[in-house]
Amino acid sequence: MAHEDIFKKLVSHCKEYGYVFPSSEIYDGLAAVYDYGQYGVELKNNIKKYWWDSMVLMHDNIVGLDSAIFMHPTIWKASGHVDAFNDPLIDNKDSKKRYRADVLIEEHLEKFSEKIDREVEKAKARFGEKFDEALYRSTNPRILEIQEKYDLLHKKFIDAMAGPDLAAIRQIIIDSEIVCPVSGTRNWTEVRQFNLMFSTEIGATSDGAMKIYLRPETAQGIFVNFLNVQKTGRMKLPFGIAQIGKAFRNEIVARQFIFRMREFEQMEMQFFVKPGTELEWFRQWKEARMKWHRALGFGDENYRFHDHDKLAHYANAASDIEYKFPFGFKEVEGIHSRTDFDLKQHQEYSGKKMQYFDPEKNESYIPYVIETSIGVDRMFLQVMAASYYEEDLTREDGVPDSRVVLRLPSVLAPVKLAVLPLVRKDTLPEISRRISDELKFDFNCQYDEKDSIGKRYRRQDAIGTPYCITIDYQSVDDETVTIRYRDTMLQERVPISRLRAIIADKVSLREQLKKL
Ligand code: GAP
């Protein structure tokens, strides 16, 4: 099935099974804003807990924070967001559609890589076992030709964005003959800058009101509280502050479901280090964060680093962790070496010292910062995309059957187990209720007695419940039940008295964290 079709199916699955709804749906929705349903909110909370515990519980020198969304507007002047948090926009005059000019060019560049991959795939099929991919990529004339074109265009793009030189960005679009995906024409406007921050007013009267911004990142709340936390927590360098919270960006190109939203959540950690040690810490955090992703078991080959050529105004190194979504490798998380830029700026704009007193050196200085920043919603989409499977279960006698299953890691699954009496009579419902009432203290547990057992299994597969406990007539006699495993559909008979321990072991966040 085409990747786009799978993605469309995933989006409708999210809605149909209570994971994600379009916001304000009965009023025809609000673009790029979404609500999380009964299972979505549980998955989201589990993702956040995995992140929070891996940062705050697992590190003696990382503590949490929950700063306000509203902040003094000068913070955004100091951080550079008022002047530089812009996207270059371009409109197609025929379709009247608006695009991010840089995204149009990036998508065009992506086609070069796809062409190369296609050449490699063809050669792989031709040469079979003996195929040396690295050698082929570095010597095949056709590939080298495509790569040269890519490098040339890529350099032009990086130079144009560095300014940014808006005329040069437009010229790349014209020269590359990029067309509007809707009208198919090349009738483009000039490129303009557009600030992504939402603003509102605080205060009652119009003359007393102050223009403020909804934070476009949670990081600044950490920076302005850096000394509060350091002093009250008696923290010594290196140390980190972690925060999970909402962020808001007036994204122009709102596409790909919850990949790019206008209201979203971030999990950010700022790690304060001695100047001069930041690139070593940057390396270590890159590795640690990649390990966190890979520990979920979605396949190491589906992740890669993308080191930035064009650095943000505050960074001296930056890398993204990308995941292979159905629409290609895309950023899930950013790791940035932010230097002392933010603290220095806040020191200058607030007039307050933002320095750390180093007892070993007996001197004060502004620390450098490594940031790890991941979107909760984007991580949610990554987990869903990696977990969604359509399986053909056609029987040996030819009777067609299939299922949609979410192979969510047990530790993240919204519902950990379903308790299902085989039939709704005799004492089976009572035994099932007793089991479910006991287990619900420890696990998110669902009791279901409606419809055939087969239909109930399918319902649980579709929401990603890893374990189904079935209570049958044997349970009445010997106090045993079966556990059905979602992924293999195999069943195992176990004593009711052992259920809690068995499930606890399988869904344990402790075991997950031990992998890190
Ligand atoms: N403090 C640094 C920062 O905000 P960023 O690369 O702009 O860096 C970090 O954002 C992460 O936040 C991204 O890797 C992505 O996961 C998430 N993110 C950013 N913009 C988003 C949006 N519009 N919708 C959903 N997630 C977004």
Q: By alpha-carbon position, which residue is closest to atom 14 of ligand 1? A: 333
- Residue 334: CB within 6 Å of ligand 1? yes
Same domain, 473 and 338: no
Q: By alpha-carbon position, which residue is closest to atom 15 of ligand 1? A: 375
Residue 513 Cα to ligand 1 middle (Å): 24
CB 370 within 8 A of CB 282: yes
- Residue 81: CB within 6 Å of ligand 1? no
Q: How confident is the model at residue 205 (pLDDT cuts 50, 70, 90)?
A: low
Within-domain flag for 391: no
Within-domain flag for 389: no
Q: How confident is the model at residue 204 (pLDDT cuts 50, 70, 90)?
A: confident
Q: How confident is the model at residue 206 (pLDDT cuts 50, 70, 90)?
A: low
pLDDT digits (tens, 9 = 90+) for 375-404: 999 999 999 999 999 999 998 888 889 999
Q: Read out DSSP for 154-219?
A: HHHHHHHHHTT-HHHHHHHHHHTT---TTT----B---EEEE---EEEESSSTTT-EEEEB-S-SH
CB 43 within 8 A of CB 414: yes
Q: Give the residue, 207 or 26, on which the prediction is more confident.
A: 26
Q: What is the CATH number of the domain that holds 293?
A: 3.30.930.10
Instruction: Identify the pLDDT of residue 162.
Output: 82
Q: How confident is the model at residue 253 (pLDDT cuts 50, 70, 90)?
A: confident
Count Cβ atoms within 10 A of the Cβ of residue 392 and give its class: 0-12 exposed, 13-18 middle, 19 or more buried. exposed
* Most ligand 1 atoms within 8 A of CB, residue of 198, 306, 322, 373 to mutate: 373
CA-to-CA separations, 400 to 295, 396, 455, in angstroms, rounded? 35, 9, 15
Count Cβ atoms within 10 A of the Cβ of residue 188 and give its class: 0-12 exposed, 13-18 middle, 19 or more buried. buried
Q: By alpha-carbon position, which residue is closest to atom 12 of ligand 1? A: 375
CB 357 within 8 A of CB 338: no
CB 90 within 8 A of CB 188: yes
- 3 pLDDT more than 90: no
Distance CA 19, CA 413 (A): 12
Residue 481 Cα to ligand 1 middle (Å): 46
Torsion on CA atoms 270, 267, 389, 18, rounded to nearest 10 = 180
Same domain, 174 and 303: no
pLDDT digits (tens, 9 = 90+) for 300-334: 999 999 998 778 778 899 999 999 999 889 999 99
Instruction: Please list, in sequence order, all residues whose beta carbon lies within 8 angstroms of the beta carbon of residue 210, skipping any fewer than 6 positions away.
Output: 73, 201, 202, 203
Within-domain flag for 112: yes
b or e along 444-467 (b: 16 or more beta carbons within 10 Å of the residue's beta carbon)? bbbbbbeeebeebbbbbbbbbbbb
Q: How confident is the model at residue 163 (pLDDT cuts 50, 70, 90)?
A: confident
- Residue 331: CB within 6 Å of ligand 1? yes
pLDDT digits (tens, 9 = 90+) for 398-449: 888 999 999 999 999 999 999 999 999 889 999 999 999 999 999 999 999 9
- 1 pLDDT more than 90: no
Q: By alpha-carbon position, which residue is closest to atom 6 of ligand 1? A: 334
- Residue 270: CB within 6 Å of ligand 1? no
Same domain, 223 and 319: yes
Lowest mean pLDDT among 70-79, 123-132, 236-245: 123-132
Residue 312 Cα to ligand 1 middle (Å): 13
DSSP summary character for residue 495 = E
Same domain, 417 and 368: no
- Residue 377: CB within 6 Å of ligand 1? yes
Instruction: Please list, in sequence order, all residues whose beta carbon lies within 8 angstroms of the beta carbon of residue 174, skipping any fewer than 6 positions away.
Output: 186, 188
Same domain, 497 and 434: yes
Q: By alpha-carbon position, which residue is closest to atom 27 of ligand 1? A: 375
Nearest-Å Rg of the Cα atoms of the chain is 26
Q: By alpha-carbon position, which residue is closest to atom 26 of ligand 1? A: 375
CB 195 within 8 A of CB 86: yes
Distance CA 178, CA 170 (A): 10
CA-to-CA separations, 83 to 77, 166, 378, in angstroms, rounded? 7, 16, 27
Instruction: Identify the pLDDT of residue 310.
Output: 74
The tokens of 458 are what?
A: 């399918």
Instruction: Please list, in sequence order, all residues whose beta carbon lies within 8 angstroms of the beta carbon of residue 25, skipping any fewer than 6 positions away.
Output: none
Residue 499 Cα to ligand 1 middle (Å): 41
**DSSP H or E segment with residue 35:** strand 34-36
Domain boundary among 167, 193, 219: 193
| Token pair 């279960």: residue | 393
Q: How confident is the model at residue 292 (pLDDT cuts 50, 70, 90)?
A: very high
pTM of the model: 0.90
Same domain, 166 and 43: no
The gap from C-alpha 227 to its chain's centroid, in whole angstroms, comes to: 29
Within-domain flag for 223: yes
Within-domain flag for 168: yes
**What average pLDDT does this structure show over 457-472?**
97
Domains contained in the chain, number: 3
Same domain, 204 and 186: no
**What average pLDDT does this structure show over 116-130?**
88
Domain boundary among 193, 209, 230: 193
Distance CA 258, CA 254 (A): 9
Count CB atoms within 10 A of the CB of residue 307: 10
pLDDT digits (tens, 9 = 90+) for 21-67: 999 999 999 999 999 999 999 999 999 999 999 999 999 999 999 99
Of all residues in the chain, what percent carry a pLDDT higher than 70?
Answer: 99
- Residue 266: CB within 6 Å of ligand 1? yes
The tokens of 278 are what?
A: 């930041």
Peptide bond into 238 cis (omega under 30): yes
Q: By alpha-carbon position, which residue is closest to atom 16 of ligand 1? A: 375
Instruction: Identify the pLDDT of residue 318.
Output: 97
Instruction: Identify the pLDDT of residue 222.
Output: 98
- Residue 87: CB within 6 Å of ligand 1? no
CB 199 within 8 A of CB 211: yes
- 215 pLDDT more than 80: yes
Residue 247 Cα to ligand 1 middle (Å): 9
Same domain, 157 and 273: no
Same domain, 299 and 347: yes
Same domain, 211 and 308: yes
Q: Range of 425's domain?
A: 405-514
Distance CA 383, CA 393 (A): 24
Evaluate the CA torsion angle 332, 337, 341, 342 in order and state its sign: positive
Instruction: Identify the pLDDT of residue 430.
Output: 96
- Residue 375: CB within 6 Å of ligand 1? yes
Q: What is the CATH number of the domain that holds 95?
A: 3.30.40.230
- What is the position in ligand 1's atom list of the atom closest to the CA of 331? 14
Residues in the chain, how many?
516
Q: Say if strands 210-213 and 467-471 run parallel, antiparallel, or are unpaired.
A: unpaired
**DSSP H or E segment with residue 477:** helix 473-478
Within-domain flag for 490: yes
Within-domain flag for 500: yes
Q: What is the CATH number of the domain that holds 421?
A: 3.40.50.800
Residue 375 Cα to ligand 1 middle (Å): 5
Distance CA 70, CA 384 (A): 31
Same domain, 176 and 221: no
The tokens of 88 are what?
A: 């270059």
pLDDT digits (tens, 9 = 90+) for 60-89: 999 999 999 999 999 999 999 999 899 999
Instruction: Please list, in sequence order, all residues whose beta carbon lies within 8 angstroms of the beta carbon of residue 408, skipping any fewer than 6 positions away.
Output: 43, 383, 387, 414, 464, 466
Within-domain flag for 289: yes
Instruction: Please list, in sequence order, all residues whose beta carbon lies within 8 angstroms of the beta carbon of residue 462, skipping any fewer than 6 positions away.
Output: 13, 17, 403, 404, 405, 406
Q: By alpha-carbon position, which residue is closest to atom 18 of ligand 1? A: 375
DSSP summary character for residue 258 = G
- Residue 438: CB within 6 Å of ligand 1? no
Residue 135 Cα to ligand 1 middle (Å): 36
Same domain, 226 and 372: yes
Domain boundary among 134, 169, 193: 193
The gap from C-alpha 4 to its chain's centroid, in whole angstroms, comes to: 19
- Residue 251: CB within 6 Å of ligand 1? yes
Q: By alpha-carbon position, which residue is closest to atom 7 of ligand 1? A: 217
Instruction: Identify the pLDDT of residue 412.
Output: 98
- Residue 373: CB within 6 Å of ligand 1? yes
The whole-chain average pLDDT of the chain stands at: 94
Distance CA 470, CA 468 (A): 6
The tokens of 46 are what?
A: 């589990």
